[in-house]
Amino acid sequence: MAFIHLLAFLALTLLTQIGGMAYLGALALGRHWRGRRRFRRLAVMAMFMVLYAGLSLSASAIAPSFGRVPLPCHAKEDAELAVQSTLYCVLNRHYVTPELKQVVGDLAKHMAARFPGTRLNVLDANFPFFDGFPLLPHLSHSDGRKLDLAFFYKDRDSQAQIRETRSPIGYWAFEEPKSSVRGRCTGRSDILSLRWDMDWFQVFNQDYQLDERRTVAVLRWLVGEGAKRGVSKVFIEPHLAARLGVRSKFIRFQGCRAARHDDHIHFQIR
Ligand SMILES: [Zn+2]
């Protein structure tokens, strides 16, 4: 039983940073349970949820002492910037440094000015506390200075989707290389790799196509105005950067073992 508790603690900590603490707290409180024995597990689960919610709410107040601030989880309907899914907020994966928040806010304003009504959707950011704490499965999101952005999409009638992404969680709707282009990692089958194909997930994706104009506008801003504000690296698959016609020394390839970047844009600041 101790082993299962240890596994649950580790899984919750790796997934949400503070979930493991809430789990230990709930187990400790559960020892004092005086109600019917068969309800103890339910009581522990309820206590975990209450503790987790309390700690998550406190995190946004405490995070600034660790140099992190939350990105907007409860954006209004017409907001120009929002966390793409409440999932990232529930899991406490929506924290960045104030400098990064300023940069992504400026980018969102630029996009809304150029394409009125557009919302910039952000995905995984960082946890609220401690530099160096890994935000799996990302290899580098550990210091508040990295952020993933969702692509922009159009439906089959070429209508721009203002808020929606092709994937319900923003990730794993891959833009495969056109048939005449060979991807940099085509044919490789590394055992240790985060380059997942996620075939099982594809049924959840909508029938949208990449909105190249708006996606290009994001990339151009990041390597132009963004670079002046501290953007130091942008990750996107080479075949996609070539297809979109964006070249810059700031656009890099993450390698064939790191997560794919043909379903989102990653950027980081100095
Ligand atoms: Zn990233």
| pLDDT at residue number 52 | 96
Q: How far is the CA of 88 from the centre of ligand 1 (A)?
A: 13
Q: 242 alpha carbon to ligand 1 midpoint, in Å?
A: 20
Cα of 80 vs centre of ligand 1, distance in Å, is 21
Expressed in angstroms and rounded, the spacing between residue 44 Cα and the centre of ligand 1 is 35
Q: What are phi and psi of 241, to 5 degrees?
A: -60, -40
Mention every residue, 6+ apart, whose C-beta is less than 8 A from residue 39: 33
Centre of ligand 1 to C-alpha 121, Å, is 14
Phi, psi of 168 (to 5 degrees): -65, -20
Q: What is the structure's pLDDT at 171?
A: 93
Q: Please give the pLDDT value at position 212.
A: 93
Give the distance (Å) from ligand 1 centre to CA of residue 117: 25
The pLDDT assigned to 199 comes to: 82
pLDDT at 231: 97
- pLDDT for 166 equals 92
- Which protein residues have a CB closer than 5 Å to ligand 1 (ion)? 148, 266
Ligand 1 mean position to 157 CA, how many Å?
Answer: 30
55 CA distance to ligand 1 middle (Å): 25
Q: How far does residue 124's CA lie from ligand 1's centre (Å)?
A: 7
Give 1 Cα–ligand 1 centroid separation in angstroms: 36
CA of 83 to the centre of ligand 1 (A): 14
**What is the mean pLDDT of each successive set of 10 residues along the chain, which is 270 residues long?**
88 92 90 80 91 94 95 88 94 97 97 94 95 86 95 86 87 80 64 71 88 96 96 93 92 77 94
